[in-house]
Homo-oligomer: A and B are copies of this chain.
């Protein structure tokens, strides 16, 4: 592991790191916030997955998470949003596909299948790497994210409820099969067989595999992507039908930005802390 930087923050350590990933075949950057409590004992992990075009730095500097993670003793992990620098044809053509748009899945279509494996990277490789290199509890983890990262948090959380006991999201892509961002990404990464898409669609997953864990979702009413891309009501309907506990909150006047996220991040950290610190 290469330490890019480590800076004191709220009594803990905000670090940026790089490691060689076998999931992506590239060097991957990620950020970790070690709360002060990690100096004296292992603490729960909370992953925060960022959205389209973002990097490991975006939520780290914009979301205002550290103060509440320090208060509740959670270690924050912010991965990058895709492999980078592969020089795959078309990788950098669009802002919603390829670089910065890994969609937290494992690609099966060429030329993406070898490297675009952010699904197993986040849920398996990076999590294992953090457990081996930081003072984190192996039995307590939560996952959250924003937009494409909210899609990642919901789908990974629903698929691995044993690993991620707490799940939340800001303005997540709730039904990617039914929105342009998801259709473009899934066609590109997974191919035309739509039966393969269901594994990465929160609304489909929750029908098959509801969990006991309450999911918290915050959504701004003035979010410009709400109507075409996000579809929280489809997820809500599926949760209700499947018996999945869901707390879906709409916020008047708020948009899709980190000014929205920082306004409600305290509630999310408390949501995760209440579950993860409950032993």
Residues of chain A having any CB pair with chain B under 8 Å: 7-11, 14, 61-62, 64, 66-67, 220, 222, 251, 253-255, 257-260, 262-263
Q: How far is the CA of A210 from the CA of B148 in the complex (A)?
A: 54
Instruction: Give the CA-CA distance A222 to B209 in the complex, in Å.
Output: 49
Measured between beta carbons, the chain B residues less than 8 angstroms from A62 are 61-62
29 contacts between A and B (CB under 8 A): A7-B254, A7-B255, A7-B257, A7-B259, A7-B260, A8-B220, A8-B222, A8-B251, A8-B253, A8-B254, A8-B255, A8-B259, A8-B260, A8-B263, A9-B260, A9-B263, A10-B262, A10-B263, A11-B263, A61-B61, A61-B62, A61-B258, A64-B64, A64-B67, A64-B262, A66-B259, A66-B262, A67-B262, A67-B263
Label chain A's interface by main secondary structure: mixed
Beyond A7-B254, A61-B61, A67-B262, list 20 extra A-B contacts (CB 8 Å): A7-B255, A7-B257, A7-B259, A7-B260, A8-B251, A8-B253, A8-B254, A8-B255, A8-B259, A8-B260, A8-B263, A9-B260, A9-B263, A10-B262, A10-B263, A11-B263, A14-B259, A62-B62, A64-B67, A66-B259
Report Cα–Cα, A148/B111, bound state, in Å: 49
Complex interface: chain B residues within 8 A of A7 (CB):
254-255, 257, 259-260
| Bound form: Cα–Cα A14–B222 in Å | 14
CA–CA, A66 to B264, complex, Å?
A: 12
Determine the chain B residues whose CB is within 8 A of the CB of A9 once the complex forms: 259-260, 262-263
In the complex, the chain B residue whose C-beta lies closest to that of A265 is: B67
Instruction: Give the Cβ gap from A13 to chain B, nearest Cβ, in Å.
Output: 9
Q: Closest B-chain residue to A62, C-beta based?
A: B61
Q: Chain B residues near A222: list those with CB within 8 A.
A: 8
Bound form: Cα–Cα A263–B35 in Å: 12
Chain B nearest CB from A181 CB (Å) reads: 21
Across-interface contacts of A257 in B (CB, < 8 A): 7
Report the Cα distance A8→B261, complex, angstroms. 10
Cβ of A253: which chain B residues have Cβ within 8 Å of it?
8
Nearest CB of chain B from residue A223's CB, rounded to whole Å:
11
Closest approach, in angstroms, between the C-beta of A14 and any C-beta of chain B?
Answer: 5
- Give the CA-CA distance A274 to B162 in the complex, in Å: 48
Cα–Cα, bound, A222→B11 (Å): 14
Residues of B within 8 A of A11 (CB): 263
Q: Which residues of B contact A220 (CB under 8 A)?
A: 8
Q: Which residues of B contact A67 (CB under 8 A)?
A: 64, 262-263
The docked-state distance in angstroms from the alpha carbon of A220 to that of B64 is 20
